[in-house]
Amino acid sequence: MIAVLKATASRVGLGINILGGFKVASESELIAALSAVFTLSDSSFNSFNNVLVGIGDDGAVIKASPQNSVLATDMAVEGVHFKREWSSLHEIGAKITAANLADIYAMGGDPKYLLVSAGLTSDFGIAEIEALANGIKSEADLVGAAIVGGDISRAEKLVISISVFGEVTSPITRSGAKAGDSVIISGLPGKSAAGLFQLQSGVTDSTFVSAHKKPVLNYELAKKFRNVNAMCDVSDGLLSELTHIAEASGVGIEIDSRLIEQLSDFKELADLDSSQVWQWVLGGGEDHVFVATTSAKVPDGAIVIGKVMSGTKLDVLGISDVPDVGFRHF
């Protein structure tokens, strides 16, 4: 079976609109540059071997898999999700790609193909486009996913939208949590929010700033979460994601702050600003760690932070002033 993936484009697996708005000599120059960045040369990745037609035609053609398909899409807008005065184009590309890949892993799937669309500002030339594309590819390469097409147009602000196509055997949803499950996470959330705080305070170089500009996802650990009952990636805050799971599953969830405080990197966050640490950990987003509930053996590397209970209450033991639910970018 063969499947066709097509972006909403004027032409090819990489459509070009309003080219005259960019510092690029020709459409063919731009396609050649992006084709070189997104080359499908690594035959060790099955995703690459299954691409029958890539960038250069009206649509990408892939050899379809007998597995279920899982699809996700995400958009990022300059001034809302990132600032170019803080982040390089390479970092921006990698960060947005990571956010999309995390959605596929949160569903229990494996990402295979990406379609990338971007609205680019008039200052973009080949060098800027290549920097952004290399950032996207660097993250996709970590999981063996292939960029097979997309679209480019002119815009007043930089806008990037990525659609990811993956494969999944048994989808993991938000609605499978059961009373008695352990609540587990793949890492400590809050680092990206702390990095945003530092950037807004004038700090431009720190571990947390790096975590905000380009979060490091533990994709290998995510693959160990395949036997969990419910899962989300923490894009909008730990409490926000746990609220989604609790509401979808019709259960209550109890988080024990003492279990989180025992994590080795919690102290570093608390030392930065003890008055804000719980806002960052419980309410901060864009870390893309994975939070799940499980009745099976806890995967090696996962951290137990609470339990699922009957009822509908979401409670954090040891915290009298629970932070707002939901992450705000800027």
Over residues 150-184, the pLDDT tens digits come to 988 899 999 999 999 999 999 999 999 999 999 99
Q: Which residue has the tokens 């008039």?
A: 122
**By C-alpha distance, which of 246, 90, 112, 125 is closest to 178?**
246
Residues 118 and 159 in one domain: yes
Is the four-CA dihedral 246, 161, 156, 89 of positive or negative sign? positive
Tell me what the pLDDT averaged over the chain comes to.
89
Same structural domain, 163 and 309: no
pLDDT score at 264: 84
Q: What is the CATH number of the domain that holds 194?
A: 3.90.650.10
- Of 133, 168, 203, which residue sits at a domain end? 168
Is residue 216 predicted with pLDDT exceeding 70?
yes
Work out the percent of the chain whose per-residue pLDDT is above 90: 74
**What is the pLDDT, as a whole number, of residue 18?**
46
Same domain, 188 and 288: yes
Whether 322 maps to a domain, the answer reads: no
Query: Are residues 124 and 38 part of one domain?
Result: yes
Domain end call among 108, 136, 168: 168
Distance between CA atoms of residues 95 and 219, nearest Å: 14
Residue with tokens 């299954």: 50
Strand-pair category, 14-16 with 146-154: parallel
| Residue 196, both tokens | 């945003």
Selected residue with higher pLDDT from 41 and 111 = 111
Same domain membership, residue 159 and residue 187: no
Q: Do 18 and 126 share a domain, yes or no?
A: yes
Q: Give the type of residue at 125.
A: G
Rounded average pLDDT over 68-87? 96
**What range defines the domain where residue 26 resides?**
2-168
Say what the pLDDT of residue 11 is: 38
Q: Give the residue from 111, 134, 168 where a domain finishes.
A: 168
Same domain assignment for residues 45 and 111: yes
Q: What is the pLDDT of residue 36?
A: 83
The per-residue pLDDT for 330 is: 53
- Listing DSSP states for 124-188 in one string gives -BHHHHHHHHHHHHHHHHHHT-EEEEEEEEE-SS-EEEEEEEEEESS---TT---TTPEEEESS-
Based on the structure, what is the number of domains in the chain?
2
Q: Please tell me what DSSP assigns to residue 315.
A: E
Tally Cβ neighbours within 10 Å of residue 96. 24
**Lowest mean per-residue pLDDT among 5-14, 118-127, 128-137:** 5-14
Is residue 268 included in any domain, yes or no?
yes
Same domain, 55 and 142: yes
Looking at per-residue pLDDT, the higher value among 6 and 182 belongs to: 182
Q: Are both 190 and 313 inside the same structural domain?
A: yes
- DSSP calls for 55-89: BTBSSEEEEPPSSEEEEEEEEEEBTTTB-TTTS-H
User: Which is nearest to 190 in space by CA: 120, 261, 124?
Assistant: 261
Range from 81-85, 218-222, 320-324 carrying the lowest mean pLDDT: 320-324
Q: What are the pLDDT digits (tens) for 13-59? A: 454 444 455 566 566 777 778 888 887 765 545 567 788 888 878 88
In a domain, 299, yes or no: yes
Helix axis angle, 126-143 relative to 27-37, nearest 10°?
Answer: 30
Cα–Cα distance, 191 to 211 (Å, whole number): 6
Whole-angstrom Cα distance, residue 17 to residue 112?
Answer: 26
- Does 159 map to a domain? yes
